[in-house]
Structure 1
Amino acid sequence: METEDSKQHYFRWRDREMQVRLVYTWIILDLELSLFHDVKTVLSLTDFKLPVPISEELFLSKELAVGEFSLEQPPDIDIANDANRPSLQTMLQWLFKQGFDSTRRKHLNPTTLHVLLHAILSMIRNYRQLFGYMGQDARIRLSVFSPFSKASTKTRMDEMRGLLQYWLGLFNALWPSSTRLGDGDPCLPSPQLYGVLITYHFICLETVIDMPAIENLARQRRPDSTIAQMDTALKDQYIQDLVPVLFHSGQILYLLRVLEQTSLPPWWPAAIYRVTMVLWATSVLFGSAWKQPSGVELLSPIIIDASLHDDDSNLSPLWQENSESYSVGGEGAGLNMPQSHTPALSVRGDLSNATLLSDPQRVLETCLLAFEKGRSIRFADGIYRKLKQFMASRTTE
């Protein structure tokens, strides 16, 4: 039976929960601003000792009525001493120690998973900045006693990739791969999860590309042939590992394509812009190596945005050991591309109509088609015009 005390307790708890969720919203906003503006995160998550929020479904559930609330053990409204839920600081410790057992995973939901990506991106930004301090001149050698080197920093970046893989395992624990992978459309319970997964793929890209360097390359207006003839050491400053670039770019395009227009995240135009520039750079830097020599039969292209996958096994034909191959990629790429296969993009999701990544101009045209999916807003229109102008400038060179 409802009492005045239980009603007050419920509304106090709900007000406090709304405050907690507001803080987490600011953390996610900081993550997105950092990701799409290529700046370091502003917020330090170690300062947040507030509890993790409950799931969106439970918070919005009509079943959580005032009368029912009083029948169960209510959450502690004092967020500084919440005994029922771990703090954000505790969740971060579990993440970096890879200590999420089955009991601790019950605290995971789309919001907490999203916030955990903030911590990983913060560290990636620091390591990327460290690469910038070291410079790109191969003639510069740091002291043998220096604790910092490109090799050691790459090792740290590899650790971040391992941590991202662990994060994906946590995601799969809540939404198993068997329910959302394959040739059909993915099946995730909410649009928010698609946004979280797209963010994950973008952060994975951050470990193997330098987006500001790619944008600087685009502004230089150098002919495609000149860019393609760069030394591999120079190419490495833009793209450090080709396979993850192809895989994560394809997954981002696929996820954006299968979402309904009304379910697209608010930053979808920025997402298309980034993946377009990354794929253009991939094509202009390495596309010449994918062009088929005369007399060589072209097999079916490997479409990188054909379906949803957890790993790059769908691209395995691109580096089969039994294929006649040649080296492609910069330092650390370690990829042999067979002459019989070329990565490609689907045109509007049509797998029978593919754009080969060996043609930078066609890659730009195909990526621009992704804007047809979203609604016309000033933000999207501005980015679309910017990319159209860039594409037009490339045709005149």
Structure 2
Amino acid sequence: MQGEGLNSGNSSDQGANEVPSGSSGNSPQQPLHLEVVSEIKADEKPVVDIPPPVFEQNAQTMQSMHNSQTPPAAQVLSPIPTPGTGFVQHTPLSGFEDFMRTNKDGSEVSSPRFMLEWAQMQMPMGYDAMGRPDMMMATEMGLDVNGMPLGHHGEPMLSMIPEFAQPMQTSLITPIETPKVERAFSDLELGSSAAMFYPNRHVSNASIGDAGVPDLGAVVAAQDAKLNLERLEQSLRNHEGWSTWRPAWDEADFAAGDQVTVMQLHESTRDKLLAITQSFLHKALDIHRDGTSSSPRSGESPSSTASNFILLPPARVLEYFLRSYGNSFERYYSLTSRGILDANELMHCYNDKASSLLILMMIAQGAMNIPSVEARWLTGGLTEACRISLFDLIEKNIILSGDPIVLHSALLFTVQAAWSGDKWQMDIAMGQRGMYFSMLRHSGVLEPRHPGPLAMDQRANPEHIWSEWIQHESRSRLIYSWVMVDQDLSLFHDTNPLFSVTEFGAPMPDADRLWQAKTAGEWSGIFEQVHEFSGGYSSVGSGARPLSLRDLFRHFLDDEIVSNGIEMTPLQLRLLLHPLQSLVCQFTQLLSCFSDTISSRQRTRAVTAASTRVRLEEVQAMLQRWYDLADRYCKVNPICAMMQANLVMFHLISLNAVTNFPEIERLARREGFDGTYQQLVWIHKRCISDVEEAIFHCGQIFRLIRSMPRSIRPPWWSGAIYRVALILWTDSLTHNESITPSNGLFPVPGPSFAVDALHAEHPLIVRYLSKREGIPCLTKRDGSQITMDHAFRVLSHCIDVIDEGVATRFSDGIRNKLERLARG
């Protein structure tokens, strides 16, 4: 299935001697100065049985990281506007790129009117945004060719973060003046409540949102994080509103059972959490206001009767959010042992501020999946407040940069911010992920650890053995959760992962049923099954651990996993995709640099291009090997959300091997496109090297995502739909012209089939991929089929698929982008 990946793309070796007029040709992509900002429709308990020790950390090493010059690979800089000429200069950002180009005076420049990126704006005078090509989001981030943020040479890593600068430069946190927004397309003008896109869905009871503008779009359009905090403060003063609030979710989404059990919050826990939350919020507001006269209640309605002091929502509401967190986030990043999330124990076992950060980020993560104005305000504000306090905590005690609770909080922040749909937070997540990766490396936890077998007297104490195992397992799960974050962000931003597979010598996480065992006796029985020893010897207390990712990948390369009887878990299968994604990214980026026009003096270059294609086909063969392992697992185990997400990731990576997504987005912006059909055909071939393979993977992504319960989809699911939509849209453009099958753009006529409803092994799918026969169609909710030969119809269907999911700021923004492209 994968081995045929680039057969249709070989014609680029021969190349046309003439590049159609107006095309970008074959020169490397040059940075284009675009004005881009994002527009969104705004409106574990960790292991506490035995507190895991602080990761072994050399204080002197971490202090030197703070005070000395770091190499470029470790430099981290927040994507904060810096003083400049007052003009905004941006580079094209792949993934969720800008679909509008404007001059500094706001006039359009050779771009379609139909697309509104996350927002159109001009930065205030005195700020010069930074940019970097090959990124998914329409963000203004300064990163080098390795995906690391650019900074001033010689600056220590931590001092390059605004909160760590000495003296603290609060004015750099966010522009004080709200940037001007193009009112014709402004999110404020259009309205930003999720209800606008989901008129038949109950979004919230609006008891809290009545006092102000629902789901304020300016949070996104203006890149003003202060508004997130002010809306949080306003909502927390509405005590009566929260007392009557109910979550807008469907209990049917929980039919499969909660991933973790949430313990009832004690009153003392909520009181302690409230006190620390107040300090976090006030610190963040003070930083963002920067001495301005902005009133804490500036966003409140004059007729509001809300109280002057803030309170956290009732314990019942907080438990709702924690339950939502456990039901969604924990399915993909399982970091809570024994399947029980007890915030009370966590709050009383660790540093107050560190544990409060973790609990608040769990609440924010859970609120993210609840489509209500109140939940969105809570999520946005808590995320920004915790971001500032997280840095403050590390600055005051650099040793905490290796603490598991702090790294766990940073993980939740990165995931939450990266998929928040809020431009400011999305920028920060991408800009500061390198810092967290460096913290993880410096902590030493990536290195191999081999706990030896316990003595006979220790083996007699199963509680002790279990507690020791939980400590080691929690460390492994935290490490490899960061690997998945690296994979997610790099894939959707079309950049190389920052981690290398050779770095991971630590054992991978063990089976989930071991991690979720409630008692030592239950755990011991499962351990004997998972790590069965021959000769009747007990494996409990033996120190048996899974392979490291580095070792597993070695076995995978040698095709020894099945022959050696290595049983893999869904999480281990997911981790194995990380190095495969790195290989695909490297080879496809290299191929994009080769010229399509080859003269007699360029034969050596042609040979190099051909060899690169061969290497890419080898990686596609390895992807097929991975799929065989996944299929082997699915045939003997019930399907789970993690395995469904794994398969979606597999198809996304496979899509990257046969498509050039940055080029597809350039076509959507009509950059270098003169509108002729001849050039469209040439660009089509450059964008999609194997049409049938691409359509197959797009269909499988549709099938897998739609089969997942709405409330437990991974946070990037609408981003996957976005990529599928643009790929199918690109292919449909050529179908709107009078072309004959001899052009090679269409399969040989055959029976129509639902490419998004049939499994990969279905005979019609196999025939389509092997013989290029059949007419693929998409399936609507009512079961009817639509063909993929009309651009508007394809995009409308993708919008319908997004409407089927839970409305978030992120999915709202994706929907709006596709809707505007369809209107073009």
Pairwise TM-score range, normalised by the shorter structure: 0.7 to 0.9
Matches within 5 A, 1:123-272: 123-135=583-595, 137-139=596-598, 143-145=602-604, 149-176=608-635, 188-220=638-670, 226=675, 228-230=677-679, 232-272=681-721
Partner of 2:562: 101
Distance 1:93 1:141 in 2: 41
Secondary structure of 1:99's counterpart equals coil
Q: 1:252 to 1:2 in 2, by over 3 A?
A: same
Structure 2 residue matching 1:149: 3-state secondary structure: helix
Instruction: Tell me how far apart the structure 2 counterparts of residues 168 and 306 of structure 1 sit (CA, whole Å).
Output: 18
1:214–1:278 contact (8 Å) kept in structure 2:
yes
Q: Is this contact kept in 1: 2:511–2:569, CA < 8 A?
A: yes
Q: CA deviation at 1:385?
A: 0.9
| Cα distance in 1 for residues equivalent to 2:750 and 2:548 | 53
Q: Which amino acid aligns with 1:171?
A: A
Report Cα offsets for 1:190-235 as digits up to 9, x if no partner.
1111000111111111110011110111011799x94653375543
1:73 is the counterpart of 2:539: yes
CA–CA separation in structure 1 for the residues paired with 2:560 and 2:769: 35
* AA matched with 2:699: G
1:85 alignment partner in structure 2 = 546
Quote the offset at 1:85 in angstroms. 2.8
For 2:685 and 2:577, the matched residues in 1 are separated by 25
Equivalent residue for 2:793? 362
Which letter does structure 1 place at the counterpart of 2:562?
D
1:146 Cα deviation after fit: 5.3
- The correspondence of residues 103-122 of structure 1 with structure 2, limited to 5 A, is 103-106=564-567, 108-122=568-582
Distance across 2 between alignment mates of 1:127 and 1:257: 31
User: 94-103 or 1-10, which moves further after superposition?
Assistant: 1-10
**Considering only aligned residues, what root-mean-square deviation do their CA atoms show, in Å?**
3.2
| Number of residue equivalences | 351
Instruction: Letter of the 1:371 partner, please give it.
Output: I
1:65-122 CA distance string (max 9 Å, x none): 4884799433666xxxxx543222110111111111344322x111111011101010
Match of 1:282 in 2: 731
TM-score using structure 2 length: 0.40
Greater shift after overlay, 309-318 or 14-23?
309-318
In structure 2, relative to structure 1, the CA distance for the partners of 1:384 and 1:222 (3 Å cut) is farther
Number of the residue aligned with 1:344: 777
Gaps of 5+ in 1: 78-82, 180-186, 293-297, 321-334
What are the Cα deviations for residues 276-299 of structure 1, in whole angstroms up to 9, with x where unaligned? 11111111135546799xxxxx98
Residue 418 of structure 2 is matched in structure 1 by: none
Tell me: CA distance 1:146–1:84, structure 2 relative to 1, closer, same or farther (3 Å): same
Match of 1:18 among 463, 474, 477: 474
Cα 1:67/1:61, change in 2 over 3 Å: closer
Report the counterpart of residue 308 of structure 1 in structure 2: 759
CA separation of 1:44 and 1:357: change in aligned 2, threshold 3 A = same
Q: 1:2-42 CA deviation, whole Å, 9 max, x = no partner?
A: 99954333212201111101111111111111111111100
Q: 1:272 to 1:125 in 2, by over 3 A?
A: same
Offset of residue 315 of structure 1: 6.0
**Helix, strand or coil at the partner of 1:240:** coil
* 8 Å Cα contact 1:198-1:252 kept in structure 2: yes
- In structure 1, C-alpha distance between the alignment counterparts of 2:555 and 2:523, rounded to whole Å: 35
Write out per-residue CA displacement over residues 318-355 of structure 1, whole angstroms, 9 at most, x where no aligned residue: 885xxxxxxxxxxxxxx5x6xxx53221122x44x222
- Residue 385 and residue 227 in structure 1: after superposition, are their counterparts in 2 closer, same or farther (change >3 A)? farther
Deviations 1:157-201 (A, max 9, x none): 11111101111111122222xx7xxxxxxx943111100011111
- The one-letter amino acid of 1:346's match is T
Partner of 1:323: none
The residue type paired with residue 29 of structure 1 is: V
State the shift of 1:300 in Å. 5.7
| Conserved 8 A contact 1:270-1:383 | yes
Shift of 1:309: 1.9
Q: Which residue in 2 is equivalent to 1:326?
A: none
**SS of the residue aligned with 2:622?**
helix
Change (3 A) 1:19 1:363: same
Which moves more between the two structures, 65-74 or 110-119? 65-74
Instruction: Tell me the distance in 2 between the aligned counterparts of 1:275 and 1:76.
Output: 47
SS at match of 1:220: coil
Q: Tell me the distance in 1 between the aligned counterparts of 2:498 and 2:723.
A: 21
Q: For residues 342 and 200 of structure 1, what CA distance do their matches in structure 2 show?
A: 24
* Change beyond 3 A, Cα 1:141–1:112: farther
Task: State the TM-score, normalizing by the size of structure 1.
Answer: 0.79
Q: Residue 592 of structure 2 aligns to a residue in which SS?
A: helix
Tell me the amino acid that sits aligned with residue 164 of structure 1: L
227-236 or 54-63: which moved more? 227-236
Shift of 1:63: 5.6
| Aligned pairs for 1:376-387 within 5 A | 376-387=807-818
Are the aligned partners of 1:227 and 1:285 in contact in 2 as well (CA < 8 Å)? no
Letter in 2 for 1:309: A
Residue 131 of structure 1 and its aligned partner are, at CA, apart by: 1.1
Change (3 A) 1:99 1:12: same
Aligned CA distance change for structure 1 residues 354 and 3 (closer, same or farther; 3 Å):
closer
The answer to whether the aligner puts 1:41 opposite 2:500 as a matched pair is no
Work out the CA distance in 1 between the residues paired with 2:564 and 2:519: 25
**Taking structure 1 as reference, are residues 285 and 253 closer, same or farther at Cα in structure 2, changes over 3 Å only?**
same
Match of 2:481, SS state, is helix
How many angstroms apart in 2 are the aligned matches of 1:142 and 1:209? 28
Higher relative contact order structure (alpha carbons within 8 Å, sequence separation ≥ 6):
2
Amino acid at match of 2:591: F
Query: Matched residues in 1 for 2:738 and 2:768: separation?
Result: 16
Residue 357 of structure 1: how far off its partner (Å): 1.2
Q: 1:209 to 1:272 in 2, by over 3 A?
A: same
What letter is aligned with 1:230?
Q
Q: Identity of counterpart residues, as a percentage?
A: 27
C-alpha spacing 1:166/1:379, structure 2 compared with 1 (3 Å): same
For 1:344, what is the secondary structure of its paired residue?
A: strand
Indicate if the aligned counterparts of 2:684 and 2:730 stay in contact, CA closer than 8 A: no
Paired AA for residue 375 in structure 1: V
Q: What residue identity is the alignment partner of 1:74?
A: V
